[in-house]
């Protein structure tokens, strides 16, 4: 394998767990790197995200689902990554590098150092996700031995109440959710129907966000969302494998997966 020349700045890069004081820079870097048209569908577009992230970073040492790692240069965050922890899978949920370091190899340095910091016994797989249009990201993942494992659809629709059918639902955590909505601009509630329970996020003033297309066939769930706020649209981000989309697709992404040890072998072949 051809060895890539070392960007001398990488010798002064430090990779560590993020701390509350990093929150504002993490948010700034995300907003600069994420597609602007899709930003409103994320918590990173909401006014209280920096305050929320400070709290997440303050407590991530106790075993939170997500762990955020930063790489700094001359004391300033130059790249960051967020992982979701699972028993056998380490899922790279976000990875962002500032423009001045793109192409310099910092992404490799960050990922290699982050895995060393975050990986736990039993985690043998590395997963991630990128928009289908992000050819550079998919080429990078392929170089790490990661292959497509699922296709994800982003679909937006208006929840319509169903007339003439008996509906039953209940909201769990609605009061605390509304309080979080007021403070951060987003919240998480549980919607129960006779069929099942759905995790629903509220984002800003305009969107719900769900993670299952099953809700589209649940008349009680759709009626409940309309009743709670008839002006909100529903964004569903969920697996689209084997499913014909029934609504316009706003975006598509692809999940990838490979073995952590394979990725580390590739990452270890580069200087830095």
CA distance 135 to 140: 9
- E-only strand ranges, 32-185: 66-73, 76-85, 89-97, 125-131, 147-157, 169-172
pLDDT of residue 63: 87
pLDDT of residue 163: 81
CA distance 172 to 199: 10
Q: Where are the domains of the chain?
A: 8-128+257-268, 160-231
pLDDT of residue 166: 84
By residue count, the chain amounts to 272
**What's the predicted TM-score (pTM) here?**
0.92
Query: Which of 3.40.50.2020, 3.40.50.1100, 3.40.630.30, 3.40.190.290 would CATH assign to domain 8-128+257-268?
Result: 3.40.630.30
Q: Are the beta carbons of 66 and 60 closer than 8 angstroms?
A: yes
pLDDT of residue 6: 59
Task: Collect all residues with Cβ–Cβ distance below 8 Å to 102 and sequence separation of at least 6.
Answer: none
pLDDT of residue 165: 72
pLDDT over 70 percentage in the chain: 94
DSSP state at residue 259: E
Residue for token pair 């993020």: 18
Which residues of the chain carry a pLDDT beneath 70? 1-6, 241-244, 270-272
pLDDT of residue 90: 98
């Amino acid at each position: 394998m051809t060895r890539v020349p070392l960007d001398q700045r990488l010798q002064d890069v430090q990779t560590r767990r993020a701390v509350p004081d990093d929150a504002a820079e993490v948010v700034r870097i995300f907003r600069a790197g994420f597609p602007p048209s899709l930003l409103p569908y994320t918590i990173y577009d909401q006014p209280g995200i920096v305050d929320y992230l400070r709290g997440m970073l303050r407590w991530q040492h106790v075993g939170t689902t997500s762990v955020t790692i930063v790489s700094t240069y001359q004391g300033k965050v130059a790249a960051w990554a967020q992982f979701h922890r699972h028993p056998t899978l380490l899922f790279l949920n976000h990875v962002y590098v500032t423009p001045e370091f793109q192409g310099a190899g910092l992404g490799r340095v960050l990922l290699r150092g982050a895995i060393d910091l975050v990986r736990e016994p039993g985690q043998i797989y590395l997963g991630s996700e990128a928009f289908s249009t992000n050819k550079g990201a998919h080429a990078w993942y392929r170089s790490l031995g990661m292959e497509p494992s699922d296709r994800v659809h982003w679909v937006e629709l208006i929840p319509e109440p169903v007339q003439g059918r008996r509906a039953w639902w209940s909201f769990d955590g609605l009061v605390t959710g509304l309080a979080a909505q007021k403070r951060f601009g987003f919240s998480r509630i549980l919607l129960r129907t006779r069929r099942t329970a759905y995790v629903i996020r509220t984002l800003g003033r305009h969107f719900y966000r769900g993670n299952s297309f099953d809700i589209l066939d649940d008349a009680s769930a759709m009626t409940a969302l309309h009743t709670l706020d008839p002006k909100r649209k529903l964004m569903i981000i969920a697996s689209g494998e084997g499913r014909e989309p029934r609504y316009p697709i706003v975006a598509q992404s692809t999940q990838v997966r490979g073995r952590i040890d394979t990725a580390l072998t590739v990452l270890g072949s580069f200087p830095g």
